[in-house]
Amino acid sequence: MRFFITLFLLYLSLQAYDFNFIQKDGVDNNKTLLVIGGIHGNEPGGYFSAEILASHYKIKSGTLWIVPNLNAKSIQADKRGVYGDMNRKFANVSTNDPDYNIVSDIKSIMLDKKVNLIINLHDGHGFYRNKYYGTIFNPSSWGQTCVIDQCDVKNTDMDQIANAVKQNINKNLIEEHHTFNVKNTNTKFDDEEMRHSLTYFAITHNKPAFAIETSKSLSSLSQKVFYQLNAIEEFMKIMNIEYERDFELNLEELSKIIDDYGSVVINNNILLNLCDIKKSLSFIPLQSSYNDFVFSSSIASVKTQNGSFELYVGNKKITTLHEESFSLCKNLNENVSIQVDGEVKKMKFASEFFVNDDFTVVQSNDMRVNVIGFTDKIHKDEGNLNIRYKSLDKNYSIDNQKKRFRIEFYYKNSFCGMIVANFR
Ligand SMILES: [Zn+2]
């Protein structure tokens, strides 16, 4: 279900931008929080948190807008900025700059009159302290802070809000030295560089904006996400945005959620569950010209090179698909009948079914059936054959646990679609 909701949200986000834009409305939508993740590609705490907000939070009252992957290319490359620091392009950016469109688009979303408050998510260096205690704990560190450019903007006391957020985070510390602080960069007078930042652009347009910096020195991604989500929830409480999440906010649950990479639908006829998928899969029937990838994760992406497709979730490379080039059958909405554990079920391409003992694909419409990992010396077509787990060569499974197998359908020389059999 979650998968379809996310797909629907992605559809709603109208892919006009180089990033995803997800809008979640509650009943009373007169206040909007805009959360931006991934301005720096090597700060995964920020963008994994934004993705979890997108997939696991329901807004009951108020509005949450999420841009989880602002700098998508840099996220995939795990670099601060493949075209330089995007967070220094908000005062001015050349029309020739490869980041020009992204910066212009996010500016116009930020300036939308519905937006009341903006938070920009980062993982910063070290742990901020107001005195020098060494290279990690000192005043020039950014880690574990709520950053403001100045105390007030228009009618909003940003200093007070940042302190409230800080105090509440400090009630939930995993380790004592993770203490959160407020860092006021006093940008207008003291910080020339920060005058080019996203938050300062917002401030100068009378929009309250905060940066949340967890620490790059935290020991796990789930710790970073834990603090980010704690901070974001405090902002929602302050704004009276009511939310519900479908998990307990603790490290154990977060690490499970982070490792659930969701799924991808390719060309509307292949569905691959990305959880526990093998590092490399061969002979995937794809088109030589164009392939359409729709991920359930809002921070997933694909990198194409020489007939191979690297799939990423955030900065994590999940798998590489090696294509075998095919044209696609014209009518893709074909229903297929498969007898699973004795019961005949109608299925569509780009789907998956669970099976205990055996399945048989019911032959239809001249489509040739190929169960990858099954070989039968007599039959070229594997339709109408009873297939059991023990008759499959486990080297051809999709997943490391060797439970999931591809059933592919062809008509003449064209590929029609795939259905995945998932043995329990
Ligand atoms: Zn950053």
The whole-number pLDDT of residue 1 equals 46
For residues 296 and 264, is the Cβ–Cβ distance under 8 A?
Answer: yes
- pLDDT for residue 2 is more than 90: no
Task: Tell me the pLDDT tens digit for each residue of 228-257.
Answer: 999 999 999 999 999 999 999 999 999 999
CA 230 / ligand 1 centre spacing (Å) = 18
pLDDT band at 6 (very low <50, low <70, confident <90, very high): low
82 C-alpha vs ligand 1 centroid, how far in Å? Answer: 14
For residue 26, report the distance from its CA to the centre of ligand 1, in Å.
Answer: 30
Residue 7 has pLDDT above 70, yes or no: no
Q: Count CB atoms within 10 A of the CB of residue 46.
A: 32
Ligand 1 centroid to residue 146 C-alpha, Å: 12
Query: 172 C-alpha to center of ligand 1: Å?
Result: 23
**Residue 192 tokens, joined:** 């020339």
Distance 122 CA to ligand 1 centre (A): 4
Please indicate whether residue 13 or residue 365 has the higher confidence score (pLDDT).
365
Note the helical H segments in 62-99.
Answer: 72-77
Compute the distance from residue 124 Cα to the ligand 1 centre, in Å: 6
Whole-angstrom Cα distance, residue 38 to residue 46?
Answer: 6
Residue 363 has a pLDDT of 84
Interval between CA 142 and ligand 1 midpoint (Å): 9
Residue 39: pLDDT above 60?
yes
Residue 332: pLDDT band by 50, 70, 90 thresholds?
A: low
CA distance 239 to 255: 28
Please say if the pLDDT value at position 45 is more than 90.
yes
Of residues 330 and 423, more confidence is placed in 423
Q: Give the chain's mean pLDDT.
A: 93
- Residue 40 C-alpha to ligand 1 middle, in angstroms? 5
Residue 409: pLDDT over 70: yes
**195-231 pLDDT, tens per residue?**
899 999 999 999 999 999 999 999 999 999 999 999 9
Do residues 265 and 199 make contact, with C-beta atoms less than 8 angstroms apart?
no
Among 149, 165, 312, 172, CA closest to 250: 172
Residue pair 422/403 in contact by the 8 Å Cβ criterion? yes
- Cα of 90 from ligand 1 centre, angstroms: 14
Determine the distance separating the centroid of ligand 1 and the alpha carbon of 80, expressed in angstroms: 7
The answer to whether 229 touches 53, Cβ cutoff 8 Å, is yes
Ligand 1 centroid – CA 402 distance (Å):
39
Q: How far is the CA of 324 from the centre of ligand 1 (A)?
A: 40
At residue 10, φ and ψ (nearest 5 deg) are -65, -40
pTM of the predicted structure, to 2 decimals: 0.92
> How many C-beta neighbours within 10 Å does residue 192 have?
8
Report all structural domains of the chain as residue ranges with CATH numbers, in order of start. 2-259 (3.40.630.10), 263-327 (no CATH), 335-423 (no CATH)
Task: Calculate how far, in angstroms, residue 265's C-alpha sits from the geometric centre of ligand 1.
Answer: 31
Q: Ligand 1 centre from 309 Cα, in Å? A: 28
Please tell me the distance from the alpha carbon of residue 342 to that of residue 330, in angstroms, as a whole number. Answer: 31
Strand order in the sheet with 270-273: 270-273, 263-266, 293-295
pLDDT tens digits along 387-403: 999 999 999 999 999 99
Query: Ligand 1: distance of its center to the CA of 59 in Å?
Result: 27
Q: How far is the CA of 282 from the centre of ligand 1 (A)?
A: 37
Q: For the chain, give the percent of residues with pLDDT over 70.
A: 96
pLDDT digits (tens, 9 = 90+) for 134-185: 999 999 999 999 999 899 898 899 999 999 999 999 999 999 999 999 999 8
Please give the distance, rounded to the nearest whole angstrom, from the Cα atom of residue 123 to the centre of ligand 1.
Answer: 6
Q: How much is the average pLDDT of 288-295?
A: 92
Between the CA of 43 and the centroid of ligand 1 the distance, in Å, is 6
* CA of residue 303 to ligand 1 center, whole Å: 23
Task: Please write the tens of the pLDDT for every residue from 52-86.
Answer: 999 999 999 999 999 999 999 999 999 999 999 99
Q: At 333, is the pLDDT very low, low, confident or very high (cuts 50, 70, 90)?
A: low
